[in-house]
Structure 1
Amino acid sequence: MSTAVKEFVLTYVMENISTLKENERFFGPIDHFNVPWRIGCVRAGGFFSFYVFCDRPKDFGEWAINTGITFELISATGKSFKKTGKDCNYGTSRQFSSWGFSQFVQWETMEKEYAMNDRLVVQAHVVIEKITGIETPKIRHFDESRKILSDVTLIVEDKKFYVSKMILAVQSSYFNSMFYGEFQESKKSEITLVGVNAEDFHYFLELLYLEPTLTNSNVEGVLVLADMYEARNATRLCEEFLIGKSKDSLRNKLAISMKFQLDDLKKHCVESLKSKADIRAVLGSSDGEPKFDSSITNYLLEKTFSLPE
């Protein structure tokens, strides 16, 4: 079973394009992987400038994020204009917290070919290749200090997790069978789990212990393990977080709902689409890889006829 890829899409539906003044910035904050990211757009010298900001405080300590970013404008017809940066790096060693294109496209071209009713859909697809010095704080420890309270040790990527068989078995039918079934693991005090990321597994365990661990950073990794280990309550808690607390984009949420068959989340995402621009932002460009299956794509396209611009 593969671990969750650290990637996300920032989406921004810009309003009142014609009123954007020279050197005036439009941007909105959003958080992914425990880092505040945001899109920034500027009108400068006859061009539309397009950036992705990573606003980690300078006094945070040593940190670095290596990314690849695809910057994209999306028209009403699904036509898109893209530029890609392969080494868009951020961190304490860099003077600026942004990466992008000062002359992404001519302003006139943007208005004629990609804006509609004074609105513009912009997206940045960010793939995190390496991240150091930043992690989501741990709520509960599963190290040797918990050994006296545990009756089994799970080993993931050479890291030991001291846990309770009963707590895991109640939450997961997979672990229930492993610990109390006829498998040879039921008699072992140490069990190695393969194909699992230790960081994701830590947050998964926290959720099984009913800790409020979920963030935009870790929820997809936890969902992968909840599916892998047949932990239905963990899946439900992830879905409730994505519906009620997560500030992630509708595009990312809808993709997660399809990947893990989360029907309530899918319904929430569809009902949250209030305009044709919202749907264009979710669907993305027509020349990219399909983000959703044909059934949801066709449904969204049909819904555009009942929505305002």
Structure 2
Amino acid sequence: MFNFCKEFNSCKEFKISEVIKNISRFEENEKYSTNIEERFNIPWRMEIVKNNGYFEFYLRCEKEERENMKWLIHVDYTLKLASKNEMMKWTKRGTWIFLTRPSRCGCPNFISWKVLESDCVVNDSIVVEAHVKINKIIDSPCIENENQKMFLLHHTVKNVSSIKEGGNYFTKTEKRFNIPWKLNIERKNGFFGLYLHCTKELSNKNNWTIEVEFDLRLVSLNGQSLSIKLTSTYKEHYGYGWDKFLRWDDMLEKYTVNDSIIIAALVKITKMTGCEEE
């Protein structure tokens, strides 16, 4: 069922760690995710955010949502940030249950960004660690709503390096449940932005709304991936996403193979109004 490797005396415990560089260039609302690492056949990574003067620190479980399956992973976790004083580490502990889809747990106000800069940054770098103990894993079939509207959009983008600063790249429009959709890459202020567009036009007959939960994903041709989950309501031709998905140069370094990447959106339509004729 699971390949329980011999980590920490054969207990279901593990540690992931990384040195994160170029801390001084972080901008407000910027996110950084470490590479995915598999432990006990489950993909994990850490995520940090600079937000409103704070250093946010999270543990992410990237186990995929699967049709007609329900899963649960109960963990105890400890998030650690190394200090310049080797005898001290900034530490937060907690317990969490990951359910059915990729999600995260952690601390939105781990420490202030100023304290991070003064106490933890060495050579413009920090060291972060996540210690995890898996208490329970449940993976079993479940009955899904037969009328559930879910779909996947994906596209291979070639010649990524040709997208200039301030430029955009749009995929072709594809219809799902008779609604037109497309994906959009934006290169702005040194960041890679990714968006899901609903291109349905306004109607003279009636107003319409489409409520969705969606997972935007950047995938390397070698399998490495980065994702973010969002919830939005479309009322007109518009695109929702994240303008600071990651740094443009980090995207080129970590995710491009032969100057190509894959962008994708896994979309779940939770409610539609005004679309009955379609």
Larger Rg: 1
Between Structure 1 and Structure 2, which shows a larger proportion of strand residues? 2
Structure-2-length-normalised TM-score:
0.44
Between Structure 1 and Structure 2, which shows a larger proportion of helix residues? 1
Structure-1-length-normalised TM-score:
0.40
